[in-house]
C-alpha cells in the first residue's frame, strides 16, 4: 500500500539530523512557509502535520522538497518526491560520509577520486576560501553554509566540514565539481595525489 503524504514527509524529516531539522525549521521561516515561532519546539510529526495543513496535501511534498533543496539536501528531496525512501528513518542520524543514495550515480561509494583521497584532501587543501567561492558561484552552497564553513578555525576543519556537510551529501556532481576546482586551485597537490 502506498505511503500517505504525511508518512512520506514524516519519513524524510525523521532521517534528518537534529541540526538539519533545526535548519529545516529556519528555512521554512525564511521561505515564508511557516513562521519559526510556531514550530520552534515541535517534533518531526508535529512539523509534518503543520506542513500538510498549511500547504494542503497536493502541494506539501513539492514544497517540502523545495525546502530540502534550498538546504542542499538533494538526495533527501529526490527520495521524498520519488517515494524512493526505503531506508529506515533514524531520528538524529547523519548519513555516513560518501554514501550515495541517488539512483543516477554511475560510481559506487568509494570509487570516486574524492572518496579515495578524502583524508589527504582534508589534511592538505589550504585554498578553502577559493573553493568555497567557486562552489557558491556554481550554487552548490548558499551564503549561510559558506559562512558556517569559514567559521571553522583551521583549513583542515573547514575542509572536513565542507566534505561532510556539502560534498558527500550532494554526491557525484559535487565531487566532480570539487575535482575541477582543485585542478585550478591546488594544482601541485592534485598532481601529487594523482601520482599515488
Could you give the CA distance from residue 116 to residue 113 in angstroms, rounded to a whole number? Answer: 5
What is the set of domains in the chain, with CATH numbers?
5-82 (1.10.533.10), 113-195 (1.10.533.10)
Could you give the CA distance from residue 44 to residue 24 in angstroms, rounded to a whole number? Answer: 11
pLDDT given for residue 90 in this prediction: 35
Rg (CA), the chain: 18
pLDDT given for residue 107 in this prediction: 40
Q: What is the pLDDT of residues 89-113, one digit of tens each?
A: 333 333 333 333 333 333 444 578 9
Could you give the CA distance from residue 126 to residue 142 in angstroms, rounded to a whole number? Answer: 21
Report residue 2's pLDDT band, with 50, 70 and 90 as the boundaries.
confident
Whether the full predicted model's pTM is greater than 0.75, yes or no, is: no
Report residue 4's pLDDT band, with 50, 70 and 90 as the boundaries.
confident
Pick the closest to residue 13 from 98, 71, 96 (CA basis): 71
Q: What is the pLDDT of residues 164-182, one digit of tens each?
A: 999 988 888 899 999 999 9
Say which residue, 1 or 164, is predicted with more confidence: 164
Q: What is the pLDDT of residues 110-155, one digit of tens each?
A: 578 998 999 999 999 999 999 999 999 989 899 999 999 999 999 9
pLDDT given for residue 155 in this prediction: 94
Contacts made by residues 128-136, CB under 8 angstroms, sequence distance 24+: 128/155, 128/158, 128/159, 128/162, 130/181, 130/185, 131/162, 131/178, 131/181, 131/182, 131/185, 132/162, 134/177, 134/181, 134/184, 134/185, 135/166, 135/174, 135/177, 135/178, 135/181
User: Residue 110 is placed in which grid cell?
Assistant: 568509494
Express the helix, strand and coil content of the chain in percent, nearest 5 each: 65, 0, 35
What is the CA angle 42-43-46, rounded to 5?
75
User: Residue 140 is placed in which grid cell?
Assistant: 552548490
Say which residue, 195 or 45, is predicted with more confidence: 45
Could you give the CA distance from residue 33 to residue 43 in angstroms, rounded to a whole number? Answer: 17
Amino acid at each position: 500500500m502506498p505511503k500517505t503524504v504525511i508518512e512520506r514527509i514524516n519519513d524524510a524529516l525523521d532521517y534528518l539530523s537534529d541540526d538539519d531539522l533545526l535548519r529545516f525549521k529556519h528555512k521554512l521561516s525564511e521561505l515564508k512557509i511557516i513562521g519559526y515561532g510556531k514550530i520552534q519546539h515541535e517534533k518531526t510529526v508535529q512539523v509534518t502535520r503543520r506542513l500538510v495543513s498549511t500547504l494542503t496535501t497536493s502541494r506539501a511534498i513539492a514544497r517540502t522538497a523545495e525546502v530540502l533543496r534550498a538546504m542542499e539536501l538533494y538526495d533527501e528531496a529526490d527520495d521524498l518526491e520519488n517515494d524512493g525512501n526505503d531506508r529506515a528513518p533514524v531520528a538524529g542520524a547523519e548519513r555516513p560520509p560518501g554514501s550515495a543514495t541517488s539512483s543516477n550515480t554511475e560510481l559506487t561509494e568509494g570509487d570516486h577520486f574524492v572518496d579515495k583521497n578524502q583524508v589527504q584532501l582534508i589534511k592538505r587543501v589550504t585554498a578553502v576560501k577559493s573553493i568555497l567561492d567557486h562552489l557558491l558561484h556554481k550554487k552548490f552552497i548558499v551564503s549561510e553554509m559558506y559562512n558556517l564553513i569559514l567559521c571553522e578555525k583551521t583549513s583542515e576543519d573547514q575542509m572536513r566540514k565542507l566534505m561532510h556537510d556539502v560534498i558527500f551529501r550532494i554526491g557525484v556532481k559535487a565531487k566532480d565539481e570539487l575535482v575541477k576546482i582543485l585542478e585550478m586551485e591546488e594544482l601541485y597537490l592534485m598532481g601529487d595525489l594523482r601520482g599515488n
